[in-house]
Amino acid sequence: MELIVSVNSKELDKYLKFTNSFIIGLRDFSINYFELDLESIKELLKKYCDINLFVAINKNIFNDDLKDLENNLIELSKLNIKGILFYDLSILSIVKRLDLKLDLVYNQGHLVTNYNIVEFYKTLGCKYAYLASDITANEMEEISNKVDINLMALFIGHVVISHSKRKLVSNFYQHIGKNNKNELNEITEKGKDNKYYVIQNKQGTNILTKEILNGTSAFINLKDKLKYGILDNNLISDDVFLDVLKLYKDNIDLNITDDELIKKVSDLIGDYDGFFYTKTIYKVK
Amino acid sequence: MLNKVELLSPAGDLERLKIACIYGADAIYFGGREYSLRANANNFSLEEIKEACSFAHSLGKRAYLTLNIVFHNEDIALVYDYIKQVVEAGIDAFIVSDLFLVKYIKENFKVEVHLSTQVSVTNMESVKFLKEMGVDRVVLAREVGRDDIKKIIDEVGLPIETFIHGAMCTFVSGRCVLSNYFTNRDSNRGGCAQICRFAFDINDEENFSMAVKDLNMSKYIKDMIEIGITSFKIEGRMRSPFYLAVVLSSYRRIIDAVLNDTLSDDLLNREVKILSKVSNRENSTHFYMKEADVSDQYYLGRGEPSNQDYLGIVIEKNDNLYTIRQRNYFELGDKIEIITPNMDIIDFDVDNLYNEKMESINKANIADSILKIKIDEDLPLYSMLRRPYL
């Protein structure tokens, strides 16, 4: 498995000792990724000419976005982009219609949950698939066994668990007659200790786990099955994140054992392992 | 010349399906025991699906099965045989989320495939792509506004379905797994625990709510017909038969009046009033004419008193003696309304009341008890008694 970092700035030097594969968002077209506009992406690729750069375009696309989207895709196809992580079908449609030289990552978030849908998008020309964070490691392994495609999954990061087009936070503050200038907010479920992050920006409102996903055990089990493991630096301090990234790299290079990796990452970010080993309930009995 | 449009009703079980059919729906959608996004509704066995299709078809209505969970590996093995059996039961269309099923169904069966709102389709490029793939209809994302809907219809020409009434998701469909994380119940496989309706604190403030008002598009039906929407969808497979009857008959009257060019302000205002009363929640039009904003959310002290308007349903008739299954308290002397599948609303003073043994009683106070009432009207079966709305 190779490591991809979802970055929190355009300064990539800090990561380069450990990986040369990155994900960034495209300004005004991404949700929950660090965003750059097209010109800045071009500059980034000039500055770091040997990197594998994936660009995430994962907002819901509306009619008014289509022209800009098409222009951006045409420009991106002229760059040395490793792939486009896409959510909206319009991206797949435009790339096929214009026969653009862009490799596509099927990235419909929580919908990438089974081998048939991954196979289906492979037949439509997708080269990669980014698996949902709410399926188990066993399900990921089964998909890898059944579909010959480059798979990727998130192993480290705050997990995005919902997205709304509504401005839920500012609406609330407007209603109670107060100002709130925070982009990052924290909610707590009444009567419980469940805390989540809420980010509101121009694309709407997103809820993320406050705990950092630690998928290290799953990473160990899947490193021969998936092509890429994603580590997301957003909302994690650089000190902690770079330590974790180094440990992952050391493990891949066989410099530390699996047990050492698990222990050391756990010491840094805790043991929250999401749904890697927990199946969701289909029907309440 | 306006196109004929479809009024599409949910049904959580066979009784609701029959109510929906006779109260004005043109088509009914429902879930089977597997693969449906309302895993905890009663849902339909294969035998019931067959009966549902047969009943709907006998009245010239269409029947759609929701097959709209987001599949996990373990769900796949048995679905193909299930689809075959449902097709044999007579289904007219499947509503699906996973695109691999579109291909499979279109290659193997002569039934329609409608793409669920779970895929959150929001633009004409995507709809064109889906049309080429063989999708027969797209249920657009709830976030798509009026002008975008019109443009999609004008440019692509694929039948478009939109929600017109009922509860709304706060988050983009398919992009929310709050339920998974808060309760372990899989929101994309029918287990949504409606976390968006929970109470939270945010930062240093108490009582933050993410809940949104219900949708009520009654005032815009004429416009929605004029821009070319094909199907008008009511939300709520878990809703009561009474709710379905009231909501469907109101929208039926509005749609028919638009198509007959007889829609008046009086008629519209009356139906708007009825629709507001039955759902018992505040409502809005959300994204249709503008971006959803501060006015579309619930905040502190959301009121949702229990609705006791539904008094009973006619389950048998013998000349003018009607057998009623009681639902809520009423008594001699009450002024009530009777709604009928013929779309009539009849005023009635309760001047007689009997128990099942034809003994005279003063009040109906036992839920689900069987009562008898003499009424000098020719009421069809499934007529309903309610507290006055008008």
Size of interface A-B (CB pairs under 8 A): 199
What percentage of chain B reaches a pLDDT higher than 90?
Answer: 87
Q: What is the mean pLDDT of residues B297-316?
A: 80
ipTM: 0.96
Q: Would you state the pLDDT for residue B219?
A: 96
The partner residues of A26 in beta bridges, in order of sequence, read A36
φ/ψ of residue A261, rounded to 5: -60, -50
φ/ψ of residue A100, rounded to 5: -75, 145
CB B142 within 8 A of CB B169: yes
Q: At what angle do helices A89-97 and A66-77 cross, to 10 degrees?
A: 60
B110-139: pLDDT as tens digits: 999 999 999 999 999 999 999 999 999 999
The answer to whether the Cβ–Cβ distance between B172 and A284 falls below 8 Å is no
Return residues 93-112 of A near B (CB < 8 Å): 93-94, 108-111
Taking CB atoms and an 8 Å cutoff, what residues of chain B touch A139?
A: 72-74
Return residues 124-143 of B near A (CB < 8 Å): 124-126, 128-130, 141, 143
CB B234 within 8 A of CB B248: yes
- DSSP string for residues in chain A: -EEEEE-SSS--GGGTTT-SEEEEEETTS-SSS-EE-HHHHHHHHHHSTT-EEEEEE-SPP-GGGHHHHHHHHHHHHTS---EEEE-SHHHHHHHHHTT----EEE--GGG--SHHHHHHHHHTT--EEE--TTS-HHHHHHHHHH--SEEEEEEEEPPEEEEESS-HHHHHHHHHT-----SEEEEEETTS--EEEEEEETTEEEEEESSPEE-HHHHHHHTTT-SEEEEE-TTS-HHHHHHHHHHHHHHHTTSS-HHHHHHHHHHHH----TTSS-PPBSS--
- DSSP string for residues in B277-316: HHH-S-EE-TTSSS---GGGB--TT--------EEEEEEE
B305 pLDDT tier (thresholds 50, 70, 90): low
Taking CB atoms and an 8 Å cutoff, what residues of chain B touch A166?
A: 170, 212, 292, 296-297
Two tokens at B78?
Answer: 């048995």
- Cα(A188)–Cα(A177) distance, integer angstroms: 21
A281 pLDDT tier (thresholds 50, 70, 90): confident
Q: Per this entry, what is the length of chain A?
A: 285
Two tokens at B14?
Answer: 């066979």
Measuring CA to CA, how many Å separate B278 from each of A32, A103, B273, B274, B388?
A: 40, 52, 9, 6, 11
- Cα(B283)–Cα(B298) distance, integer angstroms: 10
B9-51: pLDDT as tens digits: 999 999 999 999 999 999 999 999 888 776 666 789 999 999 9
Domain boundaries in chain B?
6-296, 310-386
Using alpha carbons only, what angle is made at residue B172 by residues B170 and B173, rounded to the nearest 5 degrees? 105
B345-388: pLDDT as tens digits: 999 999 999 999 999 999 999 989 999 999 999 999 999 999 99
| A85 lies within 8 A of chain B by CB | no
Closest CA to B114 of B48, B52, B74, B68: B68
Q: Would you state the pLDDT for residue B389?
A: 84
B43-81: pLDDT as tens digits: 899 999 999 999 999 999 999 999 999 999 999 999 999
Q: What is the mean pLDDT of residues B252-279?
A: 94
Task: Using CB atoms, pick whichever of B122, B171, B182 lies closest to residue A164.
Answer: B171
- DSSP one-letter code for B2: P
The answer to whether the Cβ–Cβ distance between B172 and A168 falls below 8 Å is no
A132-188: pLDDT as tens digits: 999 999 999 999 999 999 999 999 999 999 999 999 999 999 999 999 989 999 999
Task: Using CB atoms, pick whichever of B123, B148, B185 lies closest to residue A280.
Answer: B185
Q: What is the mean pLDDT of residues A223-248?
A: 98
User: Quick count: other Cβ atoms within 10 Å of Cβ B159?
Assistant: 19
Return residues 14-33 of A near B (CB < 8 Å): none
- DSSP string for residues in A123-164: HTT--EEE--TTS-HHHHHHHHHH--SEEEEEEEEPPEEEEE
- Cα(A125)–Cα(A75) distance, integer angstroms: 20
User: Quick count: other Cβ atoms within 10 Å of Cβ B295?
Assistant: 12
Chain centre distance of CA A256: 26
Task: Using CB atoms, pick whichever of A63, A162, A275 lies closest to residue B148.
Answer: A63
Closest CA to B214 of B331, B292, B97: B292
B202-249: pLDDT as tens digits: 999 999 999 999 999 999 999 999 999 999 999 988 889 999 999 999
Alpha helices in B157-308 (DSSP H): 178-183, 221-226, 241-259, 265-279
**Domain B6-296 shares a fold with domain B310-386:** no
Chain centre distance of CA B285: 16
Task: Using CB atoms, pick whichever of B40, B208, B209 lies closest to residue A283.
Answer: B40
- Cα(B194)–Cα(B125) distance, integer angstroms: 31
| B188 lies within 8 A of chain A by CB | yes
| B294 lies within 8 A of chain A by CB | yes
Residue of A165, A187, A192, A195 to mutate, interface with B, max B Cβ within 10 Å: A165
Two tokens at B258?
Answer: 């638009």
Two tokens at A103?
Answer: 């490799």
CB B346 within 8 A of CB B377: yes
| A141 lies within 8 A of chain B by CB | no
Taking CB atoms and an 8 Å cutoff, what residues of chain B touch A162?
A: 171, 175-178
Q: Which residues contact B77 (CB under 8 A, 6 or more apart)?
A: none
| Burial of B234: CB neighbours in 10 Å, binned 0-12, 13-18, 19+ | buried
Start-to-end Cα distance in chain B: 33
Class of domain B310-386: mainly beta
Q: What is the mean pLDDT of residues A83-112?
A: 98
Q: Would you state the pLDDT for residue A191?
A: 87
The partner residues of A219 in beta bridges, in order of sequence, read none
| A199 lies within 8 A of chain B by CB | no
| A56 lies within 8 A of chain B by CB | no
Q: Is A34 left (phi over 0), alpha (psi -120 to 50) or beta?
A: beta
Q: How many CA atoms lie within 13 A of B360 on its CB side?
A: 4
- Cα(B153)–Cα(B147) distance, integer angstroms: 10
Q: Would you state the pLDDT for residue B35?
A: 86
- Cα(A177)–Cα(B330) distance, integer angstroms: 44
| B80 lies within 8 A of chain A by CB | no
Kindly list the structural domains of chain A, giving each domain's residue range(s) and its CATH number in brackets, ordered by start. 2-158+211-269 (3.20.20.70), 159-209 (no CATH)
| pLDDT of B280 strictly over 80 | no
Chain centre distance of CA A285: 33
A7-25: pLDDT as tens digits: 999 999 999 999 999 999 9
The answer to whether the Cβ–Cβ distance between A282 and B103 falls below 8 Å is no
Q: Would you state the pLDDT for residue B304?
A: 57
Q: Which residues contact A136 (CB under 8 A, 6 or more apart)?
A: A275, A276, A277, A278, A279
User: Quick count: other Cβ atoms within 10 Å of Cβ A284?
Assistant: 12
- Cα(B282)–Cα(A140) distance, integer angstroms: 43
Chain centre distance of CA B207: 30
Task: Using CB atoms, pick whichever of B73, B186, B294 lies closest to residue A142.
Answer: B73
B3 pLDDT tier (thresholds 50, 70, 90): confident
B281 pLDDT tier (thresholds 50, 70, 90): confident
Q: What is the enclosing helix (H) or strand (E) of B8?
A: strand B6-10
Taking CB atoms and an 8 Å cutoff, what residues of chain A touch B199?
A: 189-190
Tell me if residue B261 falls in helix, strand or coil: coil
What percentage of chain B reaches a pLDDT higher than 70?
Answer: 97
Tell me if residue B122 falls in helix, strand or coil: coil
Closest CA to A1 of A174, A131, A172, A194: A131
What amino acid occupies position A189? E
Architecture of domain B6-296 in CATH?
A: Alpha-Beta Barrel (3.20)
pTM: 0.95
